[in-house]
Amino acid sequence: MGETITYKSPFDGFEVPAYHARPTDARRGGLLLIQEIFGITDHIRELADAFAEDGYETIAPAFYERLEPGFAADYSQEAIAKGVAYSQKTPWDQVAGDAQGAIDLLNPPAFVTGFCWGGAATWLAACRCDGLSAAAAFYGRRITELNAETPTVPTILHFGKTDASIPPERVEEIRAAHPDVPIYLYDAGHGFVSDRRADYHADSARLARLRTLAHFANNGGGKSSA
């Protein structure tokens, strides 16, 4: 369904490639979709296509392109280690700039969602980027690094109750600092939206998706946007 596009990042002028999926029916809005540590995988493309089917023109940038062009990892331990290393080598200021460049391509209303590392990057975009109407972050372990920053748009968070990488006390840190941000907990582990992961949980993935789409709809996502 989608195509590869490129755009210039406001951070440094780098030409960022991205997967771009257009709605096949009436447009509800635009969506920045932020990858996991694994890069622009088939899973991310499938998510983008699914959101496009729901009416959201979706852009999924390759945030690690400066480090390894075309990076798309499997779920082996070696791949996880590489993805973690790339996430640590990608500064938040650069992420915010790359995100802003993608948002600027989307006619409003524009939204953002992301998974794993992308969940924290979603929080970052909700705090720093202009032109967004709402955000939904999935199991963003590193949100606590950004806990001093506050989203400027309505934001919801999704976490798995049995996520070993995000213990309950870390979620409570976020809740204590941002009591007005809705946090949804699911009977699932980390990566529960991805059917490629051992922790995939279909019911939780479905419910989190419904809540995300409702959140976007309640904040400007409607039929026949420009």
Task: For residue 16, give both structure tokens.
Answer: 């960022």
163 catalytic per annotation? yes
Catalytic residue among 43, 98, 163, 178: 163
Catalytic residue among 43, 178, 190, 215: 190
**Which of 28, 4, 24, 26 lies closest to 16, judged by CA?**
4
43 catalytic per annotation? no
Catalytic residue among 54, 116, 129, 158: 116
DSSP letters, the chain, are --EEEEEE-TTT--EEEEEEE--SSS--EEEEEE-BTTBS-HHHHHHHHHHHHTTEEEEEE-TTTTTSTT-B--SSHHHHHHHHHHHHHS-HHHHHHHHHHHHTTSPSSEEEEEETHHHHHHHHHHHH-SS-SEEEEES-GGGGGGTTS--SS-EEEEEETT-TTS-HHHHHHHHHH-TTS-EEEES--TTTT-TTSTT--HHHHHHHHHHHHHHHHHTT--TT--
**Which of 137, 146, 223 lies closest to 181, judged by CA?**
137
Give the count of alpha carbons within 13 A of 209, CB side only.
Answer: 14
187 catalytic per annotation? no
Catalytic residues: 116, 163, 190
